Structure 1
Amino acid sequence: MKIWRYLGGSILAAALLHCLAIAQSAPRAVWTPDQASEWYNRQPWLVGSNYIPATAINQLEMWQADSFDPERIDKELEWAQSLGMNTMRVFLHDIVFAEDSAGLIKRMDKLLTIAQKHGIRILFVLFDSVWDPFPASGKQRAPKPHVHNSGWVQSPGKKALQDSTQYPRLERYVKAIIGKFATDKRVLGWDVWNEPDNPNDDDYAKNELPNKDAVILPLLKKVFVWAREAKPEQPLTSAIWYGNWQADDSLRPMEKLMIQESDIISFHDYSGIDNFKKQVEYLQRYQKPLMCTEYMARPRGSTFEAILPYMKQQRIAAYNWGFVDGKSQTKFPWDSWRKAYGDEPPVWFHDIFRTDGTPYDSRETRLIYTLAMEK
């Protein structure tokens, strides 16, 4: 593995030494409701976005050395600061670590330094099962015109999921990354796996593992253990996003695992306010703080105006999908994979700012700022 070529690097060496130190110790326990509440009550109301710079089509282009863009990130996080945002959810990728582990850690540190300058803490996402299941390093393809997330890639990809001999590589990735930043106050938390059993209907469904959920369920359990073995001071979570949450016996094994293993319960919901409230009420029975790590799809009724005041009232951490219009093209809706759109959709699906920093809707930005800043 190329990882071993970087043992001389001080940053990676420290991370790996930390991994060796914790390898023989038991993982820390999942936080109790009291422990979770004690941590959460020390935080401000958390409000931010899922973030990728406009210059990156996916996680690989964001983090690879030749396309990492700290100047653009600095500019865009300044825009986030201007809205009163204090956190961002940011996706990593295991392939970048496999090929340039020391470089990835250095670039993560650089992003954290930029974010800290703007009063923003980062919720990192380690793995992701959405969109293209065939990630490959190197120069990334250009966006398909007017198509939502046309270049976003899964982590790990289909080949790695099918090959259990790659799991030790994934374990090193989890432990080295979390181990390096386990006590770093700039890191808000760790979202260990985004929508792990997403079947990617209508885009990459025919290329998915036919038994994807059965393959990922035991691996996700391992990932939580690996993460807790790194002894992070920050919370671990993985957001439930699918199925019926009304009662414990209505949950599928995946949702049960994600709730049982998460220090803070997180969820995704792109529905209007009435259904959103029901989902929150279902999750409140676990008596843990809640983080909504994906919401806001304007044509579906999931808008800032409808949802954000309720989350402020309930003190639910709020991360809308999409921040600035760019290569990810998430101003276009999910159905842009099947339906043709022009340069500008009738109503933006996601995103807050145009590429030049102009708000899509100044009423929205005023609302976000007002809610974020009021005590």
Structure 2
Amino acid sequence: MKYLGVCILFFLALACGEQNSKKPGKQVVVVEGQRWSSEKAWEWYDKQPWYLGANFNPSSSINQLEFWQEDTFDPETIDRELKWSADLGMNLHRVYLHNLLWSQDSIGFLNRLDIYLGLAQKHKIKTMFVLLDDVWHPIPKPGVQPEPVPHVHNSGWVQSPGAEILGDTSRHDELESYIKGVVGHFANDERVLVWDVYNEPDNVAGQPGRRELEVNNKHEFSLILLKKVMRWAREINPSQPLTIGIWKGNIAHWGTPDSLPALDRYMLMNSDVISFHAYDGEIENVKKKITELQKYNRPLFCTEYLARGAGNTFQKVLPVLKKDKIAAINWGFVSGKTNTIYPWKSWDSTFTSEPKIWHHDILRQDGTPYSKEEINYIKQLTGHLP
């Protein structure tokens, strides 16, 4: 009878969580599973070095699918570019995955992840895997990926799972085997440092021809899916922490969860370590974000920054992050098929040649730097100057 009572309470709790997830606006925050205590998070993080790295996508891949599919998986390029990263003193990369890769070939996909982790380990680089992503094209398709649109930022990047699954709650459970399969396979693998569960939930594609494909009331569907994904990941109970990075909204409210929208509040209250994005041109805004997020008393990871044209540079951001041992992961490493040297506004403006000021990325495909001054600055911070 005691066991039956516990089961009843458990399923009632799940039912309440589902019911709450469909209501926009303020609501009680459900903390899924066994979220790490702040003490456990700090005990783990205090043993770690300061992490510096990039959002890594090999220059030969336009998106997550081309990165990992069997026909286009490119260990030679990956190995070469990881070595260049290690030469700068980088020791952590954030790497995007995709649910379609699991549906397409789960065993092969896991094998390729293992190959990647082996290459990263060879260069003493840890990995933060990103499981889902609400950014750019809403309709991902497996197979041969499109060629880049010349001079256009991230013309081929795709959302995961995309609008067709995200906007149909009856299809959300199709993702359970992907989440549990990938997290479960690497749950005790020391090469994986952190799981970034869902990148920028509720980021709506506004590019021509894409806005019409998006999910209406996307923030509601993203929250419903995120709750399920967190529950599945907690059921695996990996040895690594889970996080979902806050990325938008009024900075002044970031440290007061009751003032946040339901989705942002859920993200912060269910992360073992707190992650955030900081493309702010004013460095005072980056400092304000840090001040607000430090109120949660958890380790901080800045998982995206670097927008040179807006004044968001290595020289401005890195000293602020290093001072408080906040992991620093910029967007982009080697310029390639993603075209992220071009700014976001390249969707609305016409570029006919390489921009004078690169938006993201650090190196050209031959390994030479966009800026020798930047390279020397990074090496100085990491102790890798000759």
> Normalising by structure 1, what TM-score?
0.91
Mapped pair 1:227 → 2:233: yes
Q: Deviations over 1:255-314 (max 9, x none)?
A: 100001100000001013111101111111111111000000001111000000111111
Q: Once structures 1 and 2 are overlaid, which stretch shifts more, 173-182 or 32-41?
A: 32-41
Which residue pairs with 2:90 in the alignment? 85
Superposition RMSD in Å: 1.2
Which residue pairs with 1:48 in the alignment? 53
Query: Does the Cα contact within 8 Å between 1:191 and 1:236 map onto a contact in 2?
Result: yes
The correspondence for 2:308, drawn from 277, 282, 298, is: 298
Which residue pairs with 1:262 in the alignment? 271
The offset of 1:28, in angstroms, is: 5.0
SS at match of 1:246: helix
Mapped pair 1:112 → 2:117: yes
Task: Give the aligned residue type for 1:252.
Answer: P
Query: Does the Cα contact within 8 Å between 1:92 and 1:124 map onto a contact in 2?
Result: yes
- C-alpha distance in 2 between matches for 1:67 and 1:40: 36
- C-alpha distance in 1 between matches for 2:381 and 2:211: 39
Q: Once structures 1 and 2 are overlaid, which stretch shifts more, 361-370 or 262-271?
A: 361-370
Task: Give the aligned residue type for 2:87.
Answer: S
SS at match of 2:252: coil
SS at match of 1:293: strand
Query: Does the Cα contact within 8 Å between 2:67 and 2:74 map onto a contact in 1?
Result: yes
Query: Does the Cα contact within 8 Å between 1:160 and 1:166 map onto a contact in 2?
Result: yes
Which residue pairs with 1:18 in the alignment? none
The offset of 1:51, in angstroms, is: 0.6
Q: Once structures 1 and 2 are overlaid, which stretch shifts more, 162-171 or 152-161?
A: 162-171
- C-alpha distance in 2 between matches for 1:200 and 1:134: 11
- C-alpha distance in 2 between matches for 1:185 and 1:370: 27
Q: Deviations over 1:109-129 (max 9, x none)?
A: 000000000000100000000
1:177-196 map, 5 Å: 177-196=182-201
- C-alpha distance in 2 between matches for 1:280 and 1:201: 28
1:194-233 map, 5 Å: 194-203=199-208, 204-233=210-239
Query: Does the Cα contact within 8 Å between 1:45 and 1:372 map onto a contact in 2?
Result: no
- C-alpha distance in 2 between matches for 1:28 and 1:77: 35
Query: Does the Cα contact within 8 Å between 1:244 and 1:250 map onto a contact in 2?
Result: no
Query: Does the Cα contact within 8 Å between 1:125 and 1:194 map onto a contact in 2?
Result: yes
1:42-191 map, 5 Å: 42-191=47-196
Task: Give the aligned residue type for 2:228.
Answer: K
Query: Does the Cα contact within 8 Å between 1:245 and 1:283 map onto a contact in 2?
Result: no
The offset of 1:49, in angstroms, is: 0.2
Structure 1 runs of 4+ aligned residues shifted over 4 Å read none
Query: Does the Cα contact within 8 Å between 2:130 and 2:199 map onto a contact in 1?
Result: yes
The offset of 1:165, in angstroms, is: 3.6
Query: Does the Cα contact within 8 Å between 2:138 and 2:205 map onto a contact in 1?
Result: no
Q: Once structures 1 and 2 are overlaid, which stretch shifts more, 145-154 or 355-364?
A: 355-364
Task: Give the aligned residue type for 1:360.
Answer: Y
Q: Once structures 1 and 2 are overlaid, which stretch shifts more, 266-275 or 75-84?
A: 266-275
Task: Give the aligned residue type for 1:259.
Answer: L
Q: Once structures 1 and 2 are overlaid, which stretch shifts more, 153-162 or 68-77?
A: 153-162
Task: Give the aligned residue type for 1:280.
Answer: I
- C-alpha distance in 2 between matches for 1:110 and 1:166: 31
Which residue pairs with 1:329 in the alignment? 339
Query: Does the Cα contact within 8 Å between 2:140 and 2:158 map onto a contact in 1?
Result: yes
> Normalising by structure 2, what TM-score?
0.88
Unaligned runs of 5+ in 2: 1-31
The offset of 1:205, in angstroms, is: 2.4
Unaligned runs of 5+ in 1: 1-26
- C-alpha distance in 1 between matches for 2:72 and 2:126: 22
- C-alpha distance in 2 between matches for 1:315 and 1:342: 40
Mapped pair 1:252 → 2:261: yes
Query: Does the Cα contact within 8 Å between 2:251 and 2:288 map onto a contact in 1?
Result: no
- C-alpha distance in 2 between matches for 1:242 and 1:103: 36
Task: Give the aligned residue type for 1:76.
Answer: E
- C-alpha distance in 2 between matches for 1:298 and 1:49: 15
- C-alpha distance in 2 between matches for 1:279 and 1:201: 25
- C-alpha distance in 1 between matches for 2:143 and 2:163: 18
Q: Deviations over 1:306-337 (max 9, x none)?
A: 00011111110000001110000000000000
Query: Does the Cα contact within 8 Å between 1:50 and 1:323 map onto a contact in 2?
Result: yes
Which residue pairs with 1:239 in the alignment? 245
The offset of 1:250, in angstroms, is: 2.6
